[in-house]
Amino acid sequence: MSENIPSIVILYREKVIYMNSFCLKALGYSIGDIADLDPLDLVDVREEEKLKLIENMKRRIGGESFDEKYTLKVKKKNGETFWGEIIARTVFFENKWTGLVIITDVSDRVVKELNLQKEKDIFKEISELDDLTNIANRRSFDERLDNSISDAMLKNAKFSLIMFDIDRFKEINDTFGHQAGDAVLSELAFLIKENIRKNDFFARFGGEEFMVISNNIGIGGAVELAEKLRLKIETNGFSSKINVRCSFGVTAYKREDTAESIIKRADEALYKAKENGRNRVESVE
């Protein structure tokens, strides 16, 4: 029966002991090649996957009966590969426990699935990024803040929120034009990205307002970070030759906080910075 089905059929113990005619043709082997073939020579897998396959092969040869289904890259003799749906089980053949493998070429299906996933990943990335500044947008920020609050509640973690905006940004647009204003926003976003920690989350909140979720630091550390960013902006030479200044509001997560309450406190701190002369850092605990 195995000689008359359009699927790859393989029997193995320590080495391959049988390939049906369809398998020999599909993989490019001859009957004389079989005796020297390790079953793992027929798949292209990472090291951790290989260790699992070795363990399961030993279990089959030892007489343990169980079925498995994989989708893995299958290797031909010439080194080419294709995606195979692999059904593996234990059989009793010629008075010995033996591994049976049946492989069907599913390359077309897998490639379609991979392309679809790639499209989904690209769409997800686009939907979470701000078009102008290429940083996280408001939607992405809202999701991350909710996650940070959940983590803080469950793991007793701490984080701080830094809210800042560009002082007198309307004047920049009115005086130099919206194109110059867009350039300032884009350069500012790049500058901040280069000067925050890897585990900090930076987003455009709307218009000329930005947010930094600063993980694992309290309000003191967040104020220091905000002051560092303020100075970087003040001394940066923007390409438009515009003197850009920013005001910062800082607060830290409290156990009773919701997303709305912590944003409200950060906004209050930012308002305080504006009231006290702009181009400064203020905090609200």
Q: Which residues are catalytic?
A: 208
Q: Do 242 and 275 form a contact (C-beta atoms < 8 A)?
A: no
Residue 274 and residue 284 in contact, taking contact as beta carbons nearer than 8 Å: no
Q: Strands 159-166, 68-75: parallel, antiparallel or unpaired by DSSP?
A: unpaired
Residue 73 is classified by DSSP as: E
N residues, the chain = 285
Query: What span, in angstroms and rounded, lies between the C-alpha atoms of 175 and 233?
Result: 20
Tokens of 18: 């049988």
CA angle 76, 6, 85 (to 5 degrees): 60
**How far apart are the C-alpha atoms of 274 and 282, rounded to whole Å?**
9
- For residue 167 the two structure tokens come to 């002082």
DSSP string spanning 11-34? EESSSEEEE-HHHHHHHT--GGGG
